[in-house]
Amino acid sequence: MPDKDFSEISPVFFLQTFILELMHACEQEGGNYCESLIERIAKSAGLYFEQTYRAEYRHQGELSREAYIDLILALKNHIGGNFSLASVETDTITVVNSRCPFGERVTNFPELCRMTSSVFGGIAARNFGYAKVEIRQSIARQNGGCEVCIHTSPEHAAGKPGLEYWREQPQDGKQEMAELHSRIEQSLRSVWWSRPKQHAAKPAPAIIAKAPAMQQVLQQIEVVAPTEATVLITGETGTGKELIARAIHAMSVRRHKPFVAINCGAIPENLIESALFGHEKGAFTGAIEVHQGFFERAEGGTLLLDEVDTLSPAAQIRLLRVIQEGEMERVGGKHTLSADVRILSATNRTLAQHVEQGLFRQDLFYRLNVVRLWIPPLRERPEDLPHLVQLILQRLCKKYGKTVDTVSRDVMGRIRAYDWPGNVRELENTLERSVLFCTGKELEHLELDQKSSAAPGDDWSGQKRKMLAEAEHAYLEQQLKSHHGNVRQIAAAMGLTPRAVYGKLKKHAITPGQYR
């Protein structure tokens, strides 16, 4: 072994390496150790630095805002960060950072942002009584920099995503979230296992919610589930909208009645009304007997209308009547039937734009959109990745008789570096392909698509996509201004169909009506 001059190794580099290696070792045990480790290190570090600060400046009593800001900036910068104060507003302190104390490899462990939250929040809670730390941007999520807000009043922090801390009770918020998560999962399993014949071949559903954005979804489920409100669940394809709908049903008073899910986009337009509302014998050619639709099958329970944006105009009218009057008629029928069904709907599109385009009834949109739940994409849930990987591996091993119980550091790095446009569904499919060809206990090769096979540190493809997206966004805005928001004229100028242009506008979150 060659001699090494250890004097060249800085304490900061040693700290970075030690923490990252420790995190990777804990991650291989299933991910749960990481959070406990982070909390313990952060609590000890926060107390130590605060005590050191007080001793150096002979500070007694609670820290002032100015002293608190000096402390947290000095703390992070002393161990390799580049933090600075961005603003101080009523009950909110915002700091920014251009260099992470854990170096560039923090992108492999975005959970370490919790350490910043715990240190900042713990110190603030001890001195101000309360703190909620909101990480708006972070280097770990490849945002290019960090923006951290420390809210010091519950009223001002209401509705903000983040981690809460209270004086003398720094673990209460985390404990409450763990208990909420447990209640929802127990309810899901209870409903799932109550129908053993229907679900015997499938594992009980499970929600992974370590990321603040997903924890906020759990809190919304607890509030909305006991009510009879219609809920519109939005989010990209593969984010788990049906799973969230099942959780709402499982936590509701209707949990002992049926939960019926229908993919409206998978049913031909000429059959959708019959599928939903049923039909009478002789209603049309081939209707040789009475058919009960999904509404009748879900009587007393919950009906999920997935891809609700694909409903035909006629089906939209019938659905509106069911919501407004609580009654319906089968296709070809003359008798009115009552419909005691709670309606949940889901879509990966923006229904408001469909209304603007005349593709969806405005009155129905308002009826469905009483409560809206947005499910974050996987790229905004980096804290959930190791837990999802472990859950999926367990299920795949049981399905295929494999013994794969962990993934290599390189594989986890590639999983974190990829943005997963297909979300959890794509992650499941990718791991399934990879596990099938794995012969050992550790997954060392990931069967990613060719377009996503770049190394974690090679972000040229991402930069190229970003530049193209920015150019397209600018061009669309210029065309909207030139044509005063007329999408048909823009489509003609671009050689595209109006639907294709609307698709691009949706992708860039541009509303053409603003330019008319």
Q: CA-CA distance, 94 to 100, in Å (whole number)? A: 16
Query: Over pLDDT 70: what percentage of the chain?
Result: 84
**Cα 509 from chain centroid (whole Å):** 18
For residues 192 and 290, the model is more confident at 192
Say what the pLDDT of residue 461 is: 47
Confidence (pLDDT) at 455: 44
The pairs formed by 269-276 with CB atoms below 8 angstroms and a separation of 24 or more are: 269/312, 272/311, 272/312, 272/315, 273/312, 273/314, 273/315, 273/318, 273/331, 274/331, 276/315, 276/318, 276/319
Q: pTM of the full predicted structure?
A: 0.62
- Report how far residue 205's alpha carbon sits from residue 251's, in angstroms, rounded to the nearest whole number: 14
How confident is the prediction for the chain on average, in pLDDT?
Answer: 82
pLDDT over 60 at 146, yes or no: yes
Widest CA span in the chain: 92
pLDDT score for 201: 61
Q: What is 218-236 written as a DSSP string? A: HHHHHHHTTS---EEEE--
pLDDT number for residue 32: 54
Q: CA–CA distance from 198 to each of 188, 249, 341 (Å)?
A: 15, 17, 21
pLDDT of residue 247: 96
| Residue of higher predicted confidence among 395 and 417 | 395
Q: What phi and psi values does residue 56 have, to the nearest 5 degrees? A: -65, -40
Rounded to an integer, the average pLDDT of 500-511 is: 76
Question: With 50 as the cut, is the pLDDT of residue 176 above it?
Answer: yes
- Report residue 378's pLDDT band, with 50, 70 and 90 as the boundaries: very high
Superfamily grouping for domain 184-374: P-loop containing nucleotide triphosphate hydrolases (3.40.50.300)
Residue that wins the pLDDT comparison between 22 and 77? 77
| CA 317 from centre of chain | 32
Residue type, 51: Q
- CA pair distance 374, 288, nearest whole angstrom: 42
Least confident interval from 73-77, 212-216, 367-371 = 73-77
Confidence of residue 2 (pLDDT cuts 50, 70, 90): very low
DSSP notation for 359-410: SS-HHHHHHHTSEEEEPPPGGG-GGGHHHHHHHHHHHHHHHHT----EE-HH
Span of 4-8, 216-220, 470-474 with lowest mean pLDDT: 4-8
pLDDT in tens, 89-109: 888 999 999 888 877 777 777
**For residue 7, is pLDDT > 50?**
no
Tell me, what's the pLDDT at 9?
47
User: For position 34, what pLDDT does the model report?
Assistant: 63
For residue 170, the model assigns a pLDDT of 42
Q: 378-452 maps to which CATH number?
A: 1.10.8.60
Q: Long-range contacts for 455-458 (Cβ within 8 Å, ≥24 apart)?
A: 455/414, 455/417, 456/107, 456/108, 456/413, 456/414, 456/416, 456/417, 457/104
**Please, which pLDDT band fits residue 19 given cuts at 50, 70 and 90?**
low
Tally the C-alpha atoms within 13 A of residue 307's C-alpha that lie toward its C-beta.
14
Q: What's the token pair of residue 367?
A: 């009826």
Q: Identify any residues that bridge with 130 across adjacent strands, giving them in sequence order.
A: 166
Task: Quote the distance between the C-alpha of residue 12 and its chain's center.
Answer: 33
Model confidence pLDDT, tens digit, residues 219-266? 999 999 999 999 999 999 999 999 999 999 999 999 999 999 999 988
**For 204, which DSSP code?**
P
pLDDT of amino acid 199: 53
Is pLDDT larger for residue 5 or for residue 475?
Answer: 475
pLDDT digits (tens, 9 = 90+) for 329-365: 887 777 788 889 999 999 998 898 889 888 899 999 9
Q: Above pLDDT 90, what percent of the chain?
A: 28
Higher pLDDT, 34 or 375: 375
Lowest mean pLDDT among 36-40, 218-222, 379-383: 36-40
Q: Which amino acid is at 91?
A: D
Q: Can you give the pLDDT at residue 169? A: 46
pLDDT at 424 over 80: yes
Q: Which of 413, 399, 416, 407 is nearest to 438 (CA)?
A: 407
User: What is the CATH number that goes with domain 6-170?
Assistant: 3.30.1380.20
Q: Where are the domains of the chain?
A: 6-170, 184-374, 378-452, 460-515
